[in-house]
Structure formats: C-alpha cells, structure tokens
Amino acid sequence: MYIARFEKCAWTDDTDQALLIILSCLHNHSDPNHLVKLPRNFAARLRIWIERGLLALDRNPCGIGKLVGDVVEAHNYLKHPKDTAVQKWISTKRKVAPNGSLMRTHPIGVICMGLSEQEAWHVATGVGRTTHVDPRCVVACCISVGVIRGLLRGEILIEEHVDQAIERAYEWVLSQPELMNPGLEPDLTNREIRRHLDREEFDKHVYAETLEELKLDSKYKIGYVYKCLGSAILLLRLGMRAVEEGHVPSPKIFEDLMVDLIMEGGDADTNGAAAGALLGAFLGRAGLPLHWADGLAHRDWMNSKIERLTVVLGITEGHGLLTVATGNHPCRIPDEKDEAPYGGK
C-alpha cells in the first residue's frame, strides 16, 4: 500500500516539498533578494530531497512523481532548472499536466502576503516551473497562492471573491507568452498555444459543484492537476457555504469536508494537501480538529518552523526569539542548522 511507506500520523511527500520552500525562506530570509533566488534555491533542495530525503527529520524521499524525477535527476538540472523542465515537458508532446507543483505551492501564499497579487504569482510561477511548466500547472499554482494570500489578507470573504481571484489568475497567465508557450516555440499556432487553457476544461473543474463531478478516482487521470485544483476550490466553497448557513466555524467543518474528499480516492494525499491549505486558510488554526493537529508526528518541530516563519514575515512577535529589524524584512531571527539545505547534517 502507498500509505504504508510513510510514518504513522505524519505527512507525505507533498508536505515535504512544501517544507523545502519554507526552510529555504527561513534559511535565506536575511537576504533582501531571497524571493528572487527562491526558484533556484528550491531546485537545489529538491535535488537533495530526491537523493536523500528531508534531512532535517531524517525522512526518506517517498512518493516521487515521474515528471519530478525525470526533471530533477537530469544532469543539467541544477544549472538550468526551468529549461530542463521545459525540455522534459516538450518531450511528452506538451501533454502532461500533473499535480506535483500545485501540491507544494501553498506556503508561497503566506510568504507573499505583503506583496501584490501579481508579485505573488511571479514567485509561484518561478518555483512551480522548476519542474512543471504546463500552463495548466502554472495557472493552478497562481490560483492557489492568490486565494490563500487573499484569504489571509481578509480580501477574500465570500465565493464571489474566490471566483474573481480565479479569473484574475487565469487571465494573467493567458496574457503571458512565456507561460503559455514554454520554450517560446515560434512554429506553434495561436490555437495550439491557447489549447492548454481551454476554457471549457478549466470551468468544468474550478466551478464543479460536487466531488463526484470531478471523478477523482478516474483511472489513469488521478494525478491530473485540474482534479487537484478543482477539489481544493470546491472544498473551500463548501466550507464558506457551511459558515454562511449559520454554522459557527468549528473543527467539524474541516474534518468532515476533508474526510469526504479523502474517501473519494484518487491521489488522496495530494488532493488533501491542496484542499487543506485553502480550507485551513479560511477557517484558521482554531478551525483544525485538535486530535489531528495534536496527533501530528513531528508536531513540535513543525510548530517551531511555523512560528519562526510568522516572525520573519512580521505577522507575530518573537515570543522569546532574538529578533532584529532589517529593512524590508521586519525581523531577523537566529539561524537554525536544520534549515540549511542539508539539514545540518
């Protein structure tokens, strides 16, 4: 069984890769250009993860997707991550659009809270395209990051706001030649370029009304990025509707919806990672079931990294951490060895 490869009560590869983004930001937060450098830093960490796992916690690299493996293990990857990803995607006849970049992108929505929406999209595309360049993967990452950013800023409160964020991200990606035509192939027609963001296919997933519509357990398609995106957006909508109907936001909303999603099967851990990020950003920490949050393996380690990130971003004060104000970055915190690329090993 797939799940048997993972430690009990711990997360899977999806969250390992999301943590690579967080650890990179913590390790490099004193560099004012760390977000510009994030794609390359993330790529280097991803290579280490594939070879040795999450070294900070001595976790093995389980669940490596085919595209991620093909791209990251290429000999020239560390020198040219995005170009390598483009070449591998083109070699599939520009067809593959798996969920591997969407599953890890959500921390960028938090990290970019203080940036404009377009700046957040740029960071999301930079990191996402180190492995996944298909426009469907790119737009999915932009939507996830944009919605999380908007939820945390109090700009997305109702479904109409979600719809608007979806449309803004879609139109922005559609307007970017490099994102729509990875590699800028001059011989492709406009129709060939735009087919990747086919409107009917997009709408079918992001405006789905039921999990059944998404057919998450469809054979040979469980890893399709739009299935993951659609289920994440739908769970956020259902959470909003539950609150709107007068239910006091409670951990039961999160738990019931997440269990419903997981029971649909398919790429359940990845769908859960993407959906849990959106729903959690909406409901907040108090909206998580205690027996899940308190029962999480490596809970104290995870909570310490979250606290450090909120301090670095200026969201909270240090609470005992030695902090120093530094220009655009509200606080600088002491380095921790396990946040380095090799986990302090």
For residues 235 and 229, the answer to whether their CB atoms sit within 8 Å is: no
- What does the alpha-carbon distance between residue 149 and residue 34 come to, in Å, rounded to a whole number? 19
Task: Output the DSSP codes for 95-121.
Answer: ---BSTTGGG-THHHHHTTTS-HHHHH
Sign, CA dihedral 234-19-314-303, equals positive
Please tell me whether residue 325 adopts helix, strand or coil conformation.
strand
- What does the alpha-carbon distance between residue 100 and residue 285 come to, in Å, rounded to a whole number? 25
14 assigned to a ligand binding site: yes
270 assigned to a ligand binding site: yes
Burial of 183 (0-12, 13-18, 19+ CB in 10 A): middle
For residues 144 and 109, the answer to whether their CB atoms sit within 8 Å is: yes
105 assigned to a ligand binding site: no
13 assigned to a ligand binding site: yes
For residues 136 and 196, the answer to whether their CB atoms sit within 8 Å is: yes
Say how many C-beta atoms besides its own lie within 10 A of residue 244's C-beta: 10
- What does the alpha-carbon distance between residue 67 and residue 88 come to, in Å, rounded to a whole number? 8
58 assigned to a ligand binding site: no
131 assigned to a ligand binding site: no
Sign, CA dihedral 49-35-109-142, equals negative
Binding residues: 12-14, 267, 269-270
Binding residues for Mg(2+): 12-14, 267, 269-270
